[in-house]
Every structure is written in structure tokens, then in C-alpha cells.
Amino acid sequence: MADGPSQLLERVVQQRVTLLLKDSRQLSGKLVGIDEHLNLVLDDATETTAEISRHLGRVVLRGSNVVTLHAPHPGTGKTA
């Protein structure tokens, strides 16, 4: 049986991920938490837009704002 989204995300907790948000911003940071609604907590997050890049620190993101999540393969550090 295939894993659901939360099980797949649990595999990359404590790894760096890159998120594309609905408003075209990109966030990168270490995924430190996830809940049943797919809300995410990132540590050491950096926000990148077409104009700027800035360090945000710890952020909580509503899962419905995330369009894509790019994560390394668990245990290898290599990206898909």
C-alpha cells in the first residue's frame, strides 16, 4: 500500500527542503515538524522572491499554501 502525504513528509523531517508557495515565493529550511493538516514548521528558513532573499528563522506554514516540496532522498542527501 502506498504511503500518504504525511508519511512521506515524516521521512524527510530534520532534512533541508525547498517549498514553492502559491504566491510564487520560495522557502528553504530544515523541516522540523508536520501535523495532520500538513502544516509545516521550518527552522533556519530563507525566503526568496524575484527581488530579494532574506533569512526568516523559524516559520510555521499553512499546508494549503504549499504548491510543491522538494526534498532529498531520505538518508542520501541526494535530490530527486
- Give tens-digit pLDDT for 27-77: 999 999 999 999 999 999 999 988 999 999 999 999 999 999 998 765 555
pTM of the model: 0.81
Say how many C-beta atoms besides its own lie within 10 A of residue 40's C-beta.
Answer: 25
CB 50 within 8 A of CB 44: no
Q: Using DSSP, how many helices (H) and how many strands (E) does the chain show?
A: 1, 5
* Confidence bin at 80 (pLDDT 50/70/90): very low
* Residue for grid cell 521521512: 11
CATH 2.30.30.100 assigned to 5-70: yes
Sheet containing 26-34: order of strands: 53-61, 40-48, 26-34, 16-21, 66-70
The structural domains of the chain, with segments of one domain joined by +, span 5-70
Task: Look at residue 46 in the predicted model and tell me its pLDDT.
Answer: 97
CA 26 – CA 2 distance, rounded (Å): 28
